[in-house]
Structure 1
Amino acid sequence: MMENIVESDQPLTPAGRLFLQPLMSTVINVSIAGEHPIDVAPLKTILQNSIMLQHPRFCSLMVTDSCGRQHWRRTPVDIDRHLIIRHRPLSDDPSISDEDAVNDYIADLSFSSPLPTDKPLWEIHVLVAHKATVIRLHHALGDGISLMSMFMSCCRRVDDPAEVPTIGGVGVASTATPWRRRWSVATLVKVVWYTLAFAFEFVLRMLCLRDRTTVLSGGEGVELWPRRLATARFRLDDMRTVRRAVADATINDVLFGVISKGLSKYLDIRSPKAPKEGTQITGVAMVNLRPQAGLQDMPKLMNIKSGQWGNKFGMILLPAYYHKATSNPLEFVKRAKAMIDKKKLSLEAPFSYKILDVIMSLSWAKLASIINYRILCNTTFTISNIIGPREKITIVGNPVKHIRVTSSSLPHAITMHMVSYAGMAEMQILVAKDIISDPKVLANCFEEALLQMKEAAETQGKCF
């Protein structure tokens, strides 16, 4: 009998408890568009036999005992309760595209529809008329790396249906961990210095340090405001062209350069009074702390005791700065690279993970959620970057057109999640519509920023 209790009830991890706190309750929304309409019957069959329903977290309820402690409790899964099927179009207006209709649907879900707790914390919304599926998963189940790894295990390559997809490259969510390098004395001094400096700023952000107010600023309570969602698209080849034009740059450097320039351009367009040159606009980014970047080994992920499944990421602060248009847009990438190089030398991500982990381990979940919430209120935007498959993939035999990710609302007025897939990178931009009423303009600012950088990189290459 005791063995059955141990099998059925498992404690939540500290990060899992954090994401279930009212201030930080977060749902991940994954939008997958197919080339053909979704066939519901085969989808049910594949789900019933999938690795997902073999994983303890996806067939467990979150329960609270008499002492207020939360646990996972195994329960039979009724697939029909987790599938929400919509056959009719989301809008009667024929001028609204499938993409806009699905984005509007997700935007509404992101601030008004928490997941029911009387069943395992996931749902799949099948939008038949739009050839799309929206997978909703509570962040307490796992982070982007874990969930992408599980999703990829259910997919197959278009060019080789017997093979699972491959994932390559490095994104914000998988920045290399610095303590595995060999250090010189000079490097060690830099590591100590940058760690202390960034840890001090991190603590200040918990307490009082706040970005100056701009037309992009959110704050306390903004997570409850209605949302809009737009998509920015980037060609990975264009990002690589820009990367080659800046010595030792990475795709991360290019991405953050694009964000810095795009935000500056948007402020020029929408701000009644231009911010002061060099005004800091701080972002919060997530960094994967696992030994392996990218696709994870599913047998290890399936074993809860391995410690690989769950939320294994730290938080870093990434400052962007407002600059008026310059003759050379590559300067934004150079500034981003200089800043990110310092972040890579620091232990800011492990520090942020550890400090919150310790607080949660002491059963101070409410305090940890307040700290996270304060950091979000005192910064301007969230950015994450998940590495997706290199090749075109199929799911339920249906070729996938795109994979997009966003999350439920945060106190930020702007939240950006990027996923790479088959040579493209698409960034979902979720905004509080009463603050940023035109997210498509913002998405266009990011796209134009990359194209201007590409043009400058090609011009620079011709000069040599």
Structure 2
Amino acid sequence: MAVLNATASSVVSQNLLAGIIANHNPYVLTLSAAIATAVLYRLVSRILFGKKSRGEPRRRMRATSLGSTKMMVSGVLPKTAKYDSIINLALWYDARLPKQEVLQKAFADHVVPHMRFHSIPHQKVDCGPIDWVCQRVEVEKHFFTRKAQMRPSLEAEGFAATAEGAVRRDVEELLNTTLTTKADGRPWWEVHLIEAPVATSGQSAANSTRPPGMVLVRIHHSLGDGVSLMEMFADAVVDADGTPISQLNLFTPASRGARASFSPLKTLKFVGSALKSIVQILGLATVGGDTPCSFQNSSRQLPYQPNRFTVYFPSHSLALIKKIKDTLTAKEGKSVTVNDVEFALFAGATRRFLLRHGEDPSSVHLRALTPFAMMEKMCVETKYQTVLRNFWTFVANELPLSEANGIDRVRSSNRTWSRLKSTALIPAAFFLHRLASNLPGVMQKQTSNDLMKRISVVFSNVPGPQKAMFFGGEEITATHMLYPNVAQQVGVLSINGILHMAMVMSTTHDKGQTRRWLSECFLEELIEVAGSVGVSRMDVMKQVRVV
């Protein structure tokens, strides 16, 4: 799987190249031969970002990556890994769950019409062409209900002894299962309605017939990436007035913006940057790896074990994060982003977690992969056939663990992300992905396997509408993206002014302790960083929600 490393120097690149050739890695040698004459900037830009003539429809590129739809269908890892790629979207309803029949109608009207949601993929060979065979969808057979129970073991397992804590425990059981619908020969998606346990005393009559709870939407990754799934749900999610909430303006389509002018010198520099980037990309799946430590001591065990559990970090105010970024931007004259701050807060929580285990963070080297999706303008006439896709790559950044204080970790995060955006790394990765998709399936899977054994965490931050969201006739209070991966997987989603972060992970440490420690460490980091820009601990606590 092609990825980016934003910090490697040219000397490191030369060493990586020497090591790669010395190891005679067939995947790398094949790619190296394929790209020897194809990395010039104009070719890359024409393939990926070239402007179409006016009136000519854009063609969506399907086989784009190790992890594209073709590979997702056959499995992203060798079959011995026993791993299936399932995206889980957890929607918490604080007031009451939507009616099942209302949700079913929403799916029937807005989701099932999409080709991949009423079809089953078939392949004759691994990572080969896909035939999407249409099926008659009985929507009710994709819906499942269950009631969560208050258990004496909740707190020992690291869950709050609350209704929401009980529901989260049930969600965790589902995360470690395969899709029932896939096993039954139906399209690869399903919805679980989980009722929260409700106390018999003091329960209002209005809520007694329909308790609060969670809607867990489980979708196989072969159906689409995160951005395309957000596009698909755009018509089904509405605001308080019942108007569909368009989420397309949250991303920048590939076709948007003017083409930059390049002088011969700029072009030469870009080509040099692209060549260095390619060497760095090829090296990540073959050379070195992150430092073994308490954070990821068993996260890379293969074959994959269905023992993943979830850490829910305190939900926190987007306004608070913007206060931090805006203060730093004004003070230092550099454009700090919400992602810079969130990435640094996660790194700070990881550093504090290592310290609690008696480890020296300055000697620990951990990297995070971040998915980078390519957005395109949606065609209304063909959206049911084209909107769903897997068109993304990875960027990789070092977690800032050695900095002594939280605000310096934000500065470090800003520097590395700013540097990444100014290089040819992202176009080079997309270009390599297109080439890699033509390799034999066994080589693609082995490369994915080699990469995941060397990387500690995948970090995904997806912006959402900053207004009240209703799905199935009821307001969504919180939402989390939960994706069991080989490496630890962090998902950050923001809706209605609140950021919700969770991590699906594996460790040999006590699960209950790990949940509590990481949640506490994140809150400590947030309080420290906010304090650096003049926000008191009391004000921070007013802007967080801990469950």
Measure the CA separation in 1 of the matches of 2:312 and 2:255.
27
The answer to whether 1:26 aligns with 2:85 is yes
Alignment-mate amino acid for residue 273 of structure 1: E
Measure the CA separation in 2 of the matches of 1:125 and 1:459.
40
The 5 Å alignment of 1:4-43 reads: 13=63, 15-22=68-75, 23=77, 25-34=84-93, 35-43=95-103
- With the length of structure 2 as denominator, give the TM-score of the two structures: 0.72
2:4 is aligned to none
Q: CA RMSD in A?
A: 3.1
Measure the CA separation in 2 of the matches of 1:336 and 1:180.
28
1:337 is aligned to 414
Specify whether residues 182 and 222 from structure 1 end up closer, same or farther in structure 2 by C-alpha distance, changes over 3 A only.
farther
The 5 Å alignment of 1:235-254 reads: 235-246=317-328, 247-254=334-341
The 5 Å alignment of 1:116-265 reads: 116-117=182-183, 118-129=185-196, 130-158=212-240, 160-164=241-245, 180-182=259-261, 191-217=270-296, 218-221=299-302, 223-232=304-313, 233-246=315-328, 247-265=334-352
2:165 is aligned to 100
Asked if the contact 2:142–2:190 (Cα under 8 Å) also holds between the matched residues in 1, the reply is: yes
Alignment-mate amino acid for residue 419 of structure 2: K
Alignment-mate amino acid for residue 238 of structure 1: L
2:16 is aligned to none
Measure the CA separation in 1 of the matches of 2:431 and 2:517.
38
Measure the CA separation in 2 of the matches of 1:405 and 1:397.
21
Measure the CA separation in 1 of the matches of 2:257 and 2:369.
19
Single out whichever of 384-393 and 364-373 deviates more from structure 2.
364-373
Measure the CA separation in 2 of the matches of 1:200 and 1:176.
28
Asked if the contact 1:21–1:366 (Cα under 8 Å) also holds between the matched residues in 2, the reply is: no
2:397 is aligned to 318
SS in 2 for 1:137: strand
Measure the CA separation in 2 of the matches of 1:446 and 1:176.
38
| Structure with greater strand percent | 1
Measure the CA separation in 1 of the matches of 2:168 and 2:337.
30
2:517 is aligned to 441
The answer to whether 1:110 aligns with 2:175 is yes
1:381 is aligned to 457
Measure the CA separation in 2 of the matches of 1:162 and 1:259.
35
Asked if the contact 1:388–1:421 (Cα under 8 Å) also holds between the matched residues in 2, the reply is: yes
The 5 Å alignment of 1:289-368 reads: 289-291=374-376, 299=381, 301-304=383-386, 309-323=388-402, 325-326=404-405, 329-362=406-439, 364-368=440-444
Gaps of 5+ in 1: 1-10
Single out whichever of 179-188 and 130-139 deviates more from structure 2.
179-188
| CA deviation vs aligned residue, 1:347-394 (integer Å, no higher than 9, x gap) | 3233333323323235x2232122122212101101111121111011
Specify whether residues 69 and 181 from structure 1 end up closer, same or farther in structure 2 by C-alpha distance, changes over 3 A only.
closer
| CA deviation vs aligned residue, 1:173-216 (integer Å, no higher than 9, x gap) | 99999995456778666644554444322211211221121112
Measure the CA separation in 1 of the matches of 2:503 and 2:454.
19
Specify whether residues 211 and 166 from structure 1 end up closer, same or farther in structure 2 by C-alpha distance, changes over 3 A only.
closer
Alignment-mate amino acid for residue 69 of structure 2: G
Asked if the contact 1:177–1:289 (Cα under 8 Å) also holds between the matched residues in 2, the reply is: no
1:457 is aligned to 533
Specify whether residues 245 and 143 from structure 1 end up closer, same or farther in structure 2 by C-alpha distance, changes over 3 A only.
same
Alignment-mate amino acid for residue 369 of structure 2: V
Specify whether residues 428 and 180 from structure 1 end up closer, same or farther in structure 2 by C-alpha distance, changes over 3 A only.
farther
Q: CA deviation at 1:424?
A: 0.7
Q: CA deviation at 1:399?
A: 1.1
Specify whether residues 66 and 161 from structure 1 end up closer, same or farther in structure 2 by C-alpha distance, changes over 3 A only.
closer
Specify whether residues 457 and 177 from structure 1 end up closer, same or farther in structure 2 by C-alpha distance, changes over 3 A only.
farther
Q: CA deviation at 1:53?
A: 1.2
1:281 is aligned to 366
The answer to whether 1:405 aligns with 2:405 is no
Asked if the contact 2:368–2:459 (Cα under 8 Å) also holds between the matched residues in 1, the reply is: yes
Larger Rg belongs to: 2
| CA deviation vs aligned residue, 1:420-449 (integer Å, no higher than 9, x gap) | 100011111111142473123213322332
Asked if the contact 2:177–2:306 (Cα under 8 Å) also holds between the matched residues in 1, the reply is: no
SS in 2 for 1:211: coil
Asked if the contact 1:124–1:136 (Cα under 8 Å) also holds between the matched residues in 2, the reply is: yes
Alignment-mate amino acid for residue 127 of structure 1: I
Aligned length: 432
Asked if the contact 2:224–2:388 (Cα under 8 Å) also holds between the matched residues in 1, the reply is: yes
| CA deviation vs aligned residue, 1:314-369 (integer Å, no higher than 9, x gap) | 1111111322633xx2111111111111111223233333323323235x223212
Q: CA deviation at 1:99?
A: 2.9
SS in 2 for 1:428: strand
Q: CA deviation at 1:75?
A: 0.8
Q: CA deviation at 1:47?
A: 2.4
Measure the CA separation in 1 of the matches of 2:520 and 2:356.
12
Alignment-mate amino acid for residue 492 of structure 2: M
Alignment-mate amino acid for residue 18 of structure 1: M
Paired residue for 2:446, among 360, 363, 370? 370
Measure the CA separation in 1 of the matches of 2:229 and 2:492.
15
Gaps of 5+ in 2: 1-60, 78-82, 155-159, 197-211, 329-333, 537-547
Q: CA deviation at 1:59?
A: 0.2
Seq. identity, %: 16
Asked if the contact 2:144–2:192 (Cα under 8 Å) also holds between the matched residues in 1, the reply is: yes
1:76 is aligned to 136
Measure the CA separation in 2 of the matches of 1:251 and 1:54.
35
Specify whether residues 147 and 375 from structure 1 end up closer, same or farther in structure 2 by C-alpha distance, changes over 3 A only.
same
Specify whether residues 441 and 167 from structure 1 end up closer, same or farther in structure 2 by C-alpha distance, changes over 3 A only.
farther
Asked if the contact 1:192–1:346 (Cα under 8 Å) also holds between the matched residues in 2, the reply is: no
- With the length of structure 1 as denominator, give the TM-score of the two structures: 0.83
